[in-house]
Structure 1
Amino acid sequence: MEINQLLKTGVDMIKNREYGNPVLEATMVLESLLNVNRIYIYTHGKEKVDKAVEDEFLKIMEKRATGYPIQYILKEKEFMGLNFYIEEGVLIPRPDTEILVEYILKYIDTNYGNREVKLLDLGFGSGAIVLSIAHYKRQVQAFGVDNSDIALKVANINMNKFKLENVKLYRGDLFSGIDEKFHIIVSNPPYIPSEEIKNLQKEVRDFEPVAALDGGEDGLDFYRKIIPQSRKYLKDNGLLIFEIGWDQGKAVSNILLQEDFNNIKILKDLQGLDRVVLGIK
């Protein structure tokens, strides 16, 4: 089958996915299988595709048609200008999380310049947050804790891929095994209320790790755990910063307030919805 014909077949197989981009996704898969770039795909449409590649492409399109995330198929996701390795078992990085990372990068510039900064990421997943910060701010001594073996494996792959020597990753539960104090503690914890999991889009609900999504009855379980404990591990004037759900700004701010945090702020995403909340010890 020719490239153009194969692409059309693939697009037809996945065109009914509600949250997909069938033309782009089919093209990306074929690029990966042929190990060529997009320009090649567009300029060699009449070229015949090897039968083994054709069969593998159609098999992948069948899998994508079930809702299986394209990022798990390609095993990659761009985040903060870095190409992260991704596999099933870790949360797929979202563009909204870049708001959190960008704030931290600016905060380091403003408050610390080129001085050493100690940062802790609780629940690092693929490593998107902690590794992006460590990559762009080499003076940061970054630590990460996650209770998932898959997360530890994936984040270590990314750490090695980006050649980062200023990061230490551990398997553990929140602050377990931590005996240092940090200038910044960051977390993108599970924050979806348990009852809302079933209403998420299929790609998320059926294939991404529920443990990375489910924040308990009202979605706030992990904020209630992390915020009180964090005071022990933050330096004076240390920053505690979270990603939050679209309507959780006030609730998480109130928990920070109850635990005597100051300068509490809520940052909005591009849609004007709550996305990040922060406070200073």
Structure 2
Amino acid sequence: MLCIQDALREAVKKLEMREMMTPLLDAEVLLCHVLSMDRLFLYVYRDRELTEDQIQIYRSMIAKRLQGVPVQYIVNKQEFMGLDFYVEEGVLIPRPDTEILVESVLEWTKEKGDQQDWVIADLGTGSGAITVSLAHYLQKSHVYSVDISPKALSIGRKNAKDHGVAERIEFLHGNLFEPLRRKGLENKLDILVSNPPYIPKAEVNRLQTEVAKYEPILALDGGEDGFDFYRRIVDEAYVFLKNGGLIALEVGHDQGEFIKKMMESKNIYASIRKVKDLSNIERVVVAIIKK
């Protein structure tokens, strides 16, 4: 039999040998999942023995992690904006960086004051993290969530249902603006938000193994220079946004200035600004439509 402390030591040693970036954290998160307990429990009850079933399940999870499978896919969960989201292979794992995008939108809605019934479109559903978070925190909003991946839409629907916001979200299958056009949403949106694929094609295969091998390339590959989706979004967003509406885009760490200039060249975007994260890295570009 193994106690909690010994199981962790065994797992950490294996993960360190494979040079995983966060061996102790990975080992703890996986064991917490097996036990349905929090990390404090692991230390308070470190001498508690595990059952044979628990040991077997834990070792199988560690084996998956050693193969490079992200922890979030192993436990089918990732926290985002204070909410737990179901994730599995086939959808991008929500990143903490993307919270800046959602927070930028929420901040803008607070500045606008009285309005509550926001009409929002999210281009690129993924797990539904952005879509569901906006619907959760803007409780009278209606969100159109677009993705070309049926699997992403399915998982987005699950997360919307789990968080009780499914009635205010329409999940639409298609490529970028195509589903919005089918719905007749020209000049109807208050907010358009997107975290599009923005990694240059040549860099995709050079990403960490657990990203390049397990996360969907469709959600990562931004074309030759990484700007393919931004060009299309910036070109067409004004058709669907109301005058004075907000566009908010997550960007790569070195892409903000280029996208800002792209918007400036169109003469339909005003109040263009880049939003930095706590590490002073530009993460989001926001602008207002002026027709």
Q: TM-score range by the shorter chain?
A: over 0.9
- Whether 1:272 and 2:280 are equivalent positions in the alignment is yes
Deviation at 1:152, TM superposition (A): 0.8
- When normalised by structure 1's length, the TM-score is 0.95
Letter in 1 for 2:281: L
Greater alpha carbon shift after TM alignment, 81-90 vs 195-204: 195-204
Q: Secondary structure at the match of 1:170?
A: strand
Residue in structure 2 matched with residue 197 of structure 1 by the alignment: 204
Contact 1:13/1:62 (CA < 8 Å) preserved in 2? Answer: no
Unmatched 5+ stretches in structure 2 = none
Equivalent residues, number: 281
2:52 is matched with which residue? 51
Q: Secondary structure at the match of 2:213?
A: helix
Q: Is the Cα contact below 8 Å between 1:114 and 1:139 reproduced in 2?
A: no
Q: What does residue range 1-281 of structure 1 map to in structure 2 within 5 Å?
A: 1-16=2-17, 18=19, 20-164=21-165, 165-178=167-180, 179-180=184-185, 181-260=188-267, 261-281=269-289
RMSD of aligned Cα (Å): 1.5
For structure 1, list consecutive stretches of 5 or more residues without a partner in the other structure: none
Are the aligned partners of 2:120 and 2:144 in contact in 1 as well (CA < 8 Å)? yes
Q: Distance in 2 between matches of 1:17 and 1:77?
A: 23
Matched residues, percent identical?
Answer: 40
> Are the equivalent residues in 2 in contact too, given 1:17–1:67 (CA < 8 A)?
no
Q: Secondary structure at the match of 1:231?
A: helix
Distance (whole Å) between structure 1 residues aligned to residue 205 and residue 86 of structure 2: 27
Deviation readout 1:199-242 (Å, 9 max, x if unpaired): 21222111111110110011000011111111111111111110
Measured in 1, the distance between the counterparts of 2:53 and 2:141 equals 46
What is the CA–CA distance in structure 2 between the aligned matches of 1:61 and 1:246, rounded to whole Å?
A: 32
Displacement of 1:104 after TM fit?
A: 0.5
Work out the CA distance in 1 between the residues paired with 2:49 and 2:138: 46
Equivalent position SS for 1:246? coil
1:53 Cα deviation (Å)?
1.9
Amino acid at match of 1:200: L
TM-score normalised by structure 2 residue count: 0.92
Structure 1 residue matching 2:263: 3-state secondary structure: helix
Shift of 1:142: 1.2
Bigger mean CA deviation after superposition, 56-65 or 41-50: 41-50
Q: Secondary structure at the match of 2:179?
A: coil
Give the Å deviation of 1:31: 1.8
In 1, the alpha carbon distance for the partners of 2:119 and 2:195 equals: 18
CA distance in 1, matches of 2:193, 2:239: 14
In the aligned structure 1, how far is the partner of 2:107 from the partner of 2:19? 36
Segments ≥4 residues shifted beyond 4 Å: 16-19
Aligned partners of 2:266 and 2:18: how far apart in 1? 44
